[in-house]
Amino acid sequence: ALSPGLYLGRGLLSFCSSVKGGKSKEAEIKRINKELANIRSKFKGDKALDGYSKKKYVCKLLFIFLLGHDIDFGHMEAVNLLSSNRYTEKQIGYLFISVLVNSNSELIRLINNAIKNDLASRNPTFMGLALHCIANVGSREMAEAFAGEIPKILVAGDTMDSVKQSAALCLLRLYRTSPDLVPMGDWTSRVVHLLNDQHLGVVTAATSLITTLAQKNPEEFKTSVSLAVSRLSRIVTSASTDLQDYTYYFVPAPWLSVKLLRLLQCYPPPEEPAVRGRLTECLETILNKAQEPPKSKKVQHSNAKNAVLFEAISLIIHHDSEPNLLVRACNQLGQFLQHRETNLRYLALESMCTLASSEFSHEAVKTHIETVINALKTERDVSVRQRAVDLLYAMCDRSNAQQIVAEMLSYLETADYSIREEIVLKVAILAEKYAVDYTWYVDTILNLIRIAGDYVSEEVWYRVIQIVINRDDVQGYAAKTVFEALQAPACHENLVKVGGYILGEFGNLIAGDPRSSPLIQFSLLHSKFHLCSVPTRALLLSTYIKFVNLFPEVKATIQDVLRSDSQLKNADVELQQRAVEYLRLSTIASTDILATVLEEMPPFPERESSILAKLKKKKGPGTVTDLEETKRERSTDVNGGAEPAPASASTASTPSPSADLLGLGAVPPTPAGPPPSSGGGGLLVDVFSDSASAVAPLAPGSEDNFARFVCKNNGVLFENQLLQIGLKSEFRQNLGRMFIFYGNKTSTQFLNFTPTLICSDGLQSNINLQTKPVDPTVDGGAQVQQVVNIECLSDFSEAPVLNIQFRYGGTFQNVSVKLPITLNKFFQPTEMASQDFFQRWKQLSNPQQEVQNIFKAKHPMDTEITKAKIIGFGSALLEEVDPNPANFVGAGIIHTKTTQIGCLLRLEPNLQAQMYRLTVRTSKDTVSQRLCGLLSEQF
Which positions make up the binding site? 10-11, 42, 52, 56-60
- Residue 621 DSSP one-character state: B
Q: What is the rounded CA–CA span in Å between residue 759 and residue 127?
A: 51
Residue among 136, 167, 139, 141 at smallest CA distance from 154: 167
The total of other beta-carbon atoms located within 10 Å of residue 192's CB is 22
Residue 476 has, within 13 A of its CA and on its CB side, a CA count of 7
Angle in degrees, 0-180, between the axes of helices 299-319 and 342-355, rounded to the nearest 10: 10
Tell me the three state secondary structure of residue 343.
Answer: helix
Radius of gyration for the chain, computed over Cα atoms and rounded to the nearest angstrom: 34
Q: What is the rounded CA–CA span in Å between residue 295 and residue 252?
A: 12
Helix (H) or strand (E) holding 212: helix 200-216
Residue among 861, 870, 874 at smallest CA distance from 906: 870
CA-to-CA separations, 802 to 264, 725, 769, 820, 856, in angstroms, rounded: 30, 10, 12, 10, 32
First-to-last C-alpha distance (Å) of the chain: 75
- In the chain, count of helices (H) and strands (E)? 39, 16
Tell me the three state secondary structure of residue 715.
Answer: strand
- Do 870 and 890 form a contact (C-beta atoms < 8 A)? yes
Residue among 319, 208, 200, 190 at smallest CA distance from 263: 208
- Residue 695 DSSP one-character state: P
3-state helix, strand, coil in the chain (%, to 5): 55, 10, 35
Q: Is 519 exposed, middle or buried (0-12, 13-18, 19+ CB in 10 A)?
A: middle
- Do 357 and 351 form a contact (C-beta atoms < 8 A)? no
Which residues are registered as beta bridge partners of 877? 890
The three-point CA angle 697-700-705 to 5° equals 110
Residue among 384, 367, 366 at smallest CA distance from 375: 384
Tell me the three state secondary structure of residue 704.
Answer: helix
- Residue 687 DSSP one-character state: T
Helix residue spans in 657-811 (DSSP H) = 702-708, 761-764
Which distant-in-sequence residues (6+ apart) come within 8 Å of 754 by Cβ?
773, 776, 804, 805, 806
Q: What is the rounded CA–CA span in Å between residue 900 and residue 734?
A: 9
Q: What is the DSSP string of 262-295?
A: HHHTTSPPPSSHHHHHHHHHHHHHHHHHHHSPPS
Tell me the three state secondary structure of residue 787.
Answer: strand
Q: What is the rounded CA–CA span in Å between residue 352 and residue 651?
A: 13
Which distant-in-sequence residues (6+ apart) come within 8 Å of 119 by Cβ?
127, 130, 131, 146, 149, 153
Helix (H) or strand (E) holding 479: helix 472-485
- Residue 185 DSSP one-character state: S
- Do 475 and 513 form a contact (C-beta atoms < 8 A)? no
Q: What is the rounded CA–CA span in Å between residue 428 and residue 405?
A: 9
Q: Is 414 exposed, middle or buried (0-12, 13-18, 19+ CB in 10 A)?
A: exposed
Angle in degrees, 0-180, between the axes of helices 273-291 and 224-236, rounded to the nearest 10: 30
Q: What is the rounded CA–CA span in Å between residue 743 and residue 778?
A: 8
Q: What is the rounded CA–CA span in Å between residue 325 and residue 309?
A: 12
